[in-house]
Amino acid sequence: MAVNRVPVLKRCRSLDLEPMYLGIDKKSNRTKKTGKKLSEYGLQLREKQKAKFIYGVLEKPFRNYYTKAKRMQGQVGENLMILLERRIDNVLFRAGLGRTRKETRQIVDHKQVLVNGKLVNIPSYQVKAGDVITVRESKKDSQRYKDILEVTAGRIVPEWLDVDTENLSVTVKELPTRVMIDVPVNEMLIVELYSK
């Protein structure tokens, strides 16, 4: 499996992205802009890299999401963002059951999550409206989740999710719309890039 080993804060600076979108509380110590202007292609590429970096998706799966978004009804860019937002690792991150998306990805990989009572260990699993995601009973009392809930207590949960921190469960009330997704990505530039 390919792993991106570039330091996270360095990558945030290069993409002009605040670390808080990744669940990191550090402030970015940005330097002044050098005045270097990006070409149209450069801007499109940066937006794609930003989306891939935020959601932790590599190039091939990202292109597959784009192809799937093209086949869906509605605008391609909005569909792409909704597909990325519906990943189970992202849903757990949004619900506050992980400090970062990487951590929630690991939680899913380690078979600690049930969806509607069935074990799911694929981080890219797409949740549907009405799905109930819970942490396995054997893991609920672990110190890890107590620490996670302590850190993520102030995180704002999106309106399309209903979180029960007592039972460590998340209910997907409805599928998100683009308005509900607060990720600083201009998806139209990604569509332009892929449609060349």
pLDDT band at 1 (very low <50, low <70, confident <90, very high): low
- My answer on whether 104 and 164 are in the same domain is yes
Give kind and range of the element (H or E) at residue 88: helix 88-95
CA distance 88 to 122: 8
151 found inside a domain: yes
1 found inside a domain: no
Radius of gyration of the chain (CA): 17
Percent pLDDT > 70 in the chain is 91
Tell me the residue range of the domain where 150 lies: 92-175
- My answer on whether 101 and 159 are in the same domain is yes
32 found inside a domain: no
Cβ distance 127 to 88 under 8 Å? yes
What CATH number does residue 16 fall under?
Answer: 1.10.1050.10
2 found inside a domain: no
163 by DSSP, 3-state: which?
strand
pLDDT band at 5 (very low <50, low <70, confident <90, very high): confident
Cβ distance 117 to 160 under 8 Å? no
Cβ distance 89 to 105 under 8 Å? yes
Greater pLDDT, 14 or 163: 163
3 found inside a domain: no
Of 96, 97, 92, 95, residue with least CA distance to 56:
92
Count structural domains, the chain: 2
- My answer on whether 99 and 159 are in the same domain is yes
121 found inside a domain: yes
126 found inside a domain: yes
Residue 13 has pLDDT above 90, yes or no: no
**Model pTM score:** 0.86
User: What confidence tens digit (pLDDT) does each residue in 133-184 have?
Assistant: 999 999 888 999 999 999 888 888 999 999 998 899 999 999 999 999 988 8
User: What confidence tens digit (pLDDT) does each residue in 71-127 have?
Assistant: 999 999 999 999 999 999 999 999 999 999 999 999 999 999 999 999 999 999 999
137 found inside a domain: yes
- My answer on whether 77 and 97 are in the same domain is no
Beta bridge partners of 101: none
